A and B are shown apart, each in its own frame.
Chain A
Amino acid sequence: MAQSNTVRILDGNTFVVSEDTGDIEATPSEPTGLFSLDTRFLSTWVLTVNGDRLNPLSYDDLQYYEARFFLVPGLATHYIDAKLSIIRERSVGGSFREQITILNHDEKPVDLEIRMEAASDFADLFQVKDEILNKKGEIYTEVEPDRLRLGYRRGNFKRETVISSSEPARYDRTGFAYTVHLEPNQHWDTSIDVKTFALGPGGRDLRMGVRAHSTERLALQHDLKEWVANAPKVNSEHDRVASTYRRSLIDLAALRFSPLSLGGAALPAAGLPWFMTMFGRDSILTCLQTLPFTPELSKTTLRILAALQGTRFDDFRDEDPGRILHEMRYGETAAFEEQPHSPYYGSVDATPLFVVLLDEYEKWSGDVALVKELERESRAALKWIDDYADLVGTGYIWYERRNSDTGLENQCWKDSWDSISYRDGRLPPFPRATCELQGYAYDAKLRGARLAREFWGDPDFADQLEREAAELKQRFNRDWWVEDGEYYALALDPDGRHCDVLSSNIGHLLWSGIVDHERAEKIAQHLVGPRLFSGWGVRTLAEGEVRYNPIGYHNGTIWPFDNSFIAWGLRRYGFAEEAATIANGILDAATYFDGRLPEAFGGYQRELTKFPVEYPTACSPQAWSTGTPLLLLRTMLGLEPHEGHLAVEPRLPIGMGRIEVLDIPGRWGRVDAFARGRLDLHKMAD
């Protein structure tokens, strides 16, 4: 969605997407703007000097919350002998601030008319790619002596953008202007403040009193420093691992998001900038990836998702008692129930994964208090699996949306419309059950059993869960095995027929432990075999399938997060070389993106393209791509909490050199892990 020449800065869910001049001229194909609370507060923000647009010399995105643009007047099409330079420095932290500095390099004085065009369409985030022709409310503009107020009103729903300037400006209905006289070598500057308001009746802001941290620039700087200092240090013989880790850590800081009304605690949002909100699945999987490095994210994620766990039936929101939410939004379409995200519950993996994360978190942190605090919610989640997810009565998690207008068809991580198919390419009817969901359910039951036995004092419930898990594993291995291909079906249709394509989902089954031991080797072979493994990573769908397309969103691209869980699964079943092969490929790919893995990249054979081809509309950074290098490090180093201490069993490929991870936090205090590359992956391939 975001174009490659756009510049993005953000704090929480306030963010600015602009052109490389700093200008904003939003169009459906170029959805730039100032956004907050899933609403666009500026759709036009264009700076001119004496009527001329400005031309970019360079820009720096200094930190995730600030950027600087160096500009000169005139167009890029001819040589510019600039006598003026213009610097725009901006940051977001609650409000949006921009400092404009103009320097006169001429030997003569100049008279300048400096103007900013400013307007807002107050588009909902769900509408930014559409032509907005008939908004249901009313857009208004109020020109005041010292500020410009842009507003939108629909009933009691009111959003306002208020623009003011440190240097006196002349405000009019379409922007504001300054008349400036500059002597030779003189400079001029002004500081512009753009505040966003989400107002209810009586003028109260919806976000009143909700802030994870102070939003002043200095405070943001301090917060980022502290975040990096608190995380383990990674040193590596080859710079790429350490620098990829560092990039991930900073991106994770940027992706922290404090939901409204939940006391300022932060959890990882799904992706920058369009998915800066709570997503059950993305937040949980990112926490699982980052647990050894930033465990506090897991604690707040579990608490926040528990606080919003479903309690009733709501067909519009696909809510059931015990179900963990899919996505929360704060914009106009959610408010007026034109979209169901207030919150929307249409995913079926977040609920079992909630229990999986709680157990994994306790193993690392020893935080028994949280396990006890969330007993009710965990039990409700486990009950949901049996009572409400089994739509066909066969003992599996199924999905079929009840909101047939705006709900999600595919409620698993491969959520595009054509992601689940039979081998002949046809799409199955609903309800559908994908294989990885059954693995998550199995894992949730076993982990729930441990929690019940050790912390909830309920051995009977533990026994029951273990019995159910064992039966599920047996049933699953009977019903899902595709004999002629020797792998597990991607999904079942309501009649129990196989969606018999070879897919990356089978890797998640290893992670969950539902794969029979005698079948694990076959699964491992598929995962690093030529149909699934491209040389960079495991494709979502195997080459040779009817719907395979190397740039098919869920039908052939490679998703780094998917690969990190596959590698973890391979390691779990003892396939350390195969895990290292995947880790090595993905970390190699990361170097082509300056350490910032995209959401997905093309499934082309590595020898064919020589570099990983980024999926065209991928969101970046995306939380679970950002978490990927961290989980790969865990996997290669064999970091595993074991009876109160941290076990380290490194299996690194030779080319990886020496890696040390210092100060890994957990119930053991802080410990270090060291590893050296000893695995010869080429030998394995022979």
Chain B
Amino acid sequence: MVDATTRFFEDLDRRGYEPLLEKSSGTLRFDLHEGARTTHWLLRIDHGRLQVSQEDLEADTVIGTSPALFDDVVAGREHGLAAVLRGDMTVSGDPRLVVQVERIFPSSPDARGPRRRFQREVR
């Protein structure tokens, strides 16, 4: 079974473009640590154009966390910025890229959104 993280990055790579990141450029490396093993994901952003690889190369921003937490973040079950504030996700390098990339994480699967009550017909 493919984990949510792999699906997330493969989806980004397939899409190749994310309008929410059209003002962003730079490289982010996600280091997912589990015991002695670290999985790397490298995201290159060029004005919204995206490229994903699993190379362990130098990056403008490096995000470190556990595979389990990152899985929850990319599935919308955990909140990225709160995780950074808690220290469960670490950031080194340019912090602006984190704030920008955080915006593309999805809604929680349980989110209901605005509670509309259209008792009346709009004309």
Contacts and interface: CB of A to CB of B under 8 A. Distances in A.
Interface in A170-218: 199-202, 204, 206, 208-210
A155 B86 contact: yes
Nearest to B100: A307
Contact of B113 (A307, A313, A334, A393): A313
Interface in A370-429: 373, 376, 388-395, 400, 402
Interface residues of A, number: 48
A301 to B, nearest CB: 15
Given A312-B76, A389-B114, 18 more contacts: A155-B86, A156-B86, A202-B90, A208-B92, A261-B91, A261-B98, A262-B95, A311-B20, A312-B105, A312-B106, A313-B108, A313-B111, A313-B114, A314-B108, A315-B112, A342-B85, A393-B119, A395-B122
A127 B20 CA distance: 36
Contacts of B82: 334-337, 342
B56 interface: no
B119 A392 contact: yes
Contacts of B99: 261-262, 307-308
Given A311-B20, A313-B112, A431 B85 contact: no
Contacts of A395: 122
Interface string A337-377: 10000110000000000000000000000000000010010
B88 to A, nearest CB: 5
Which secondary structure dominates where chain B touches chain A? Answer: loop
A393 B22 contact: no
B74 to A, nearest CB: 12
A74 interface: no
A320 B117 contact: no
Nearest to B106: A312
A551 to B, nearest CB: 35
A158 B105 CA distance: 26
Contacts of A158: 87
A200 B95 CA distance: 14
A552 to B, nearest CB: 30
A186 B120 CA distance: 84
Contact of A155 (B20, B64, B88, B117): B88
B114 A388 contact: yes
Contacts of B107: 312-314
Nearest to B86: A335
A565 B48 CA distance: 39
Interface string A461-500: 0000000000000000000000000000000001000000
A9 B110 CA distance: 44
B87 A200 contact: yes
A275 B98 CA distance: 24
Contact of B79 (A260, A307, A342, A391): A342
Nearest to B23: A373
Contacts of B19: 376
16 contacts: A157-B85, A200-B90, A201-B90, A204-B92, A307-B96, A315-B108, A315-B110, A315-B111, A320-B114, A334-B82, A337-B79, A342-B81, A373-B23, A389-B114, A392-B120, A494-B117
Interface string A11-47: 0000000000000000000000000000000000000
A525 B105 CA distance: 51
Contacts of B84: 206
A373 B24 CA distance: 12
Contacts of B86: 155-157, 335-336
Given A308-B99, A393-B122, A201 B87 contact: yes
A544 interface: no
B118 A392 contact: yes
Nearest to B85: A335
A263 interface: yes
B79 A314 contact: yes
A374 to B, nearest CB: 9
A235 B114 CA distance: 51
A393 B117 CA distance: 7
B80 to A, nearest CB: 9
Contact of A260 (B95, B103, B117): B95
B37 interface: no
Nearest to A154: B86
A311 B119 CA distance: 28
Interface string A232-270: 000000000000000000000000000011110000000
Contact of B87 (A199, A263, A313): A199
Contacts of B92: 204, 208
Contact of B116 (A157, A337, A391): A391
B110 to A, nearest CB: 8
B96 A312 contact: no
B68 interface: no
A342 B6 CA distance: 26
Contacts of A263: 95-96
B57 interface: no
A280 to B, nearest CB: 15
Contact of B104 (A311, A343, A394): A311
